[in-house]
Amino acid sequence: MTIKMGLVGTGTVGGGCIDILQKHREGFERHLGVDVELARVCSLSPAEAEAHGVGHLFTNDYHDIVNDPDIQIVVELIGGTTIAKDVVLDALAAGKNVVTANKALMATHWREVMAAADASGKDLMFGASVGGGIPIIGPLRHSLIANQIDTVMGIVNGTTNYMLTKMAEEDMSYAEALAEAQAKGFAEADPSADVDGYDSAAKIAILASIAFDSLVTIDDVYTKGITSIDTTDLEAARDMGYVVKLLAIAHRMDDGIDVRVHPTMIPQGHQLASVGGVFNAIYVVGDFVGETMFFGEGAGAGAAASAVMGDVLDIAERLEQQVPPKESHLCTDELPIRRIETLSMKYYIRFTVADKPGVLARMAGAFAEHDVSIHSMMQRGAQDDGHVDVVYVTHTARESDIRAAIDQIAATDGLLFGEPSVIRVEE
């Protein structure tokens, strides 16, 4: 039986899928016993389809794919939450299996699209929505399924990791690192989705939903990007034995889920600390398996297409064996999301203050008043203008107390210059 697939979106990842199928179709038939044929491609650009040698399959109307009775698998690669959502829902309603790489769609409309898949009795797979080609959703659902997963934590955005690596290792400013990332095609002209952390937030929402079997949407994720990270902070981190990474973090707690994205100091010896450049890595802790980590290219045509086509082949094997879908699940549990204000962790805080007597005492007083205990304090080089940087690392403290202490310090006349820099610390 030949299984026909329709592709919606012929950009980088879509092109990679066409390449994989052209190169390996025969191999898939020999090794897996499934013959997958690209039957139709839809996009706004006939030129893209022609460039990959599939101009004869081109349409600019996705309904030509969704309404084709011979097509059994629809691959959605246009992204976003508007037309892409229509494509996915229409395809499921028409009885197609769907593969998508769309993190925004899954992190925003999980419940709706999963319910549509369940109602249609078809598969909805989205392995490429997190971590590019790194196998992570599959392992969480299969190899690691015997565990209670307690932590999923990772570097899931290559653009910001590239920038932070450049800033830390080559002493670039934020602006220089961004410009270089854009020049290399790692960052978009409008880099907001990456540098403000929303891309990471969508991915950790998806990972947390699977790992904890409890729905987490992008709106549940406390999100802070890297735009305020300064090389001063990266130097201070290095001197203290830390590295700053934009981490996406999800912890199972006794009373709910802690899920957030923010720049994080981690010890230089941590497995995630050595993940540089555009690479991604996801660290998973289960109650029996202990610590595991998954590493690889988080983006790029080949890596993401590898994940998309892995899902397509999984579905094709099930179609070939005439077995029902396996992957479509609404979450079973409804664990509450813990608000960040109620969490406790360690903090790095850098103030730029006037270099004069009494300043340290005032700050120490503010911390003490709000039950924030200080692990270390360090002055960093006096500046020409009579200002000095003072760096604190706290013991474990409640986020709300940290904020109150900082507010009190900031409200003291003539004490601070500029915004304090706050980076959470994960041991």
By annotation, the residues acting in catalysis are 203
318 vs 403, beta carbon nearer a copy of itself: 318
Q: Does residue 138 belong to the site contacting a copy of itself (CB under 8 A)?
A: yes
Q: Does residue 104 belong to the site contacting a copy of itself (CB under 8 A)?
A: no
> What tokens appear for 225 in the block?
């990007």
318 vs 380, beta carbon nearer a copy of itself: 318
User: Between β-strands 35-42 and 58-59, what pairing exists: parallel, antiparallel or unpaired?
Assistant: parallel
Tokens 């389809």 label which residue?
49
27 vs 381, beta carbon nearer a copy of itself: 27
Query: Which residues, 6 or more positions from 414, have their beta carbon under 8 angstroms from its beta carbon?
Result: 354
Residues contacting a copy of itself: total by CB under 8 A: 59
Q: Does residue 307 belong to the site contacting a copy of itself (CB under 8 A)?
A: yes
Tokens 């038939």 label which residue?
29
Question: Which residues, numbered 264-293, are part of the site for a copy of itself (CB under 8 A)?
Answer: 271, 274, 286-293
> Exactly one of 3, 153, 303, 402 binds a copy of itself (CB under 8 A); which one?
303
> What tokens appear for 191 in the block?
């880099």
Do residues 88 and 76 lie in contact, with contact meaning Cβ atoms separated by under 8 Å? yes
Query: How far is the C-alpha of 312 from the C-alpha of 329, rounded, in Å?
Result: 18
Name the residue type at position 113: V
Question: Which residues, numbered 181-240, are part of the site for a copy of itself (CB under 8 A)?
Answer: 213
153 vs 345, beta carbon nearer a copy of itself: 153
**x/- map, 23-62, a copy of itself, by CB under 8 A:** xx--xx-xxx------------------------------
Q: Does residue 135 belong to the site contacting a copy of itself (CB under 8 A)?
A: yes
Question: Which residues, numbered 326-385, are part of the site for a copy of itself (CB under 8 A)?
Answer: 326, 332-333
> What tokens appear for 142 in the block?
């299969």
Q: Does residue 179 belong to the site contacting a copy of itself (CB under 8 A)?
A: no
Query: How far is the C-alpha of 20 from the C-alpha of 373, rounded, in Å?
Result: 56
Tell how many helices (H) and how many strands (E) occur in the chain: 14, 17
123 vs 401, beta carbon nearer a copy of itself: 123
DSSP result, 157-205: -HHHHHHHHHHHHH---HHHHHHHHHHTTSS-SS-HHHHTSHHHHHHHH
287 vs 369, beta carbon nearer a copy of itself: 287
Q: For the stretch 64-77, what's the b/e string if a residue is b when 16 or more beta carbons lie within 10 angstroms of its beta carbon? A: ebbebeebbbbbbb
Q: SS3 of 340, please?
A: helix
- What minimum distance in Å lies between the beta carbon of 135 and a copy of itself? 3
Name the residue type at position 147: N
Select the span of 101-109, 135-143, 169-177, 404-412 touching a copy of itself (CB under 8 A).
Answer: 135-143
Tokens 């109307």 label which residue?
61
Q: Does residue 143 belong to the site contacting a copy of itself (CB under 8 A)?
A: yes
Which spans of this chain sit near a copy of itself (rule: CB under 8 A)? 16, 19-20, 23-24, 27-28, 30-32, 127, 133-135, 137-139, 142-148, 213, 271, 274, 286-297, 300, 302-303, 305-310, 312-314, 317-318, 321, 323-324, 326, 332-333
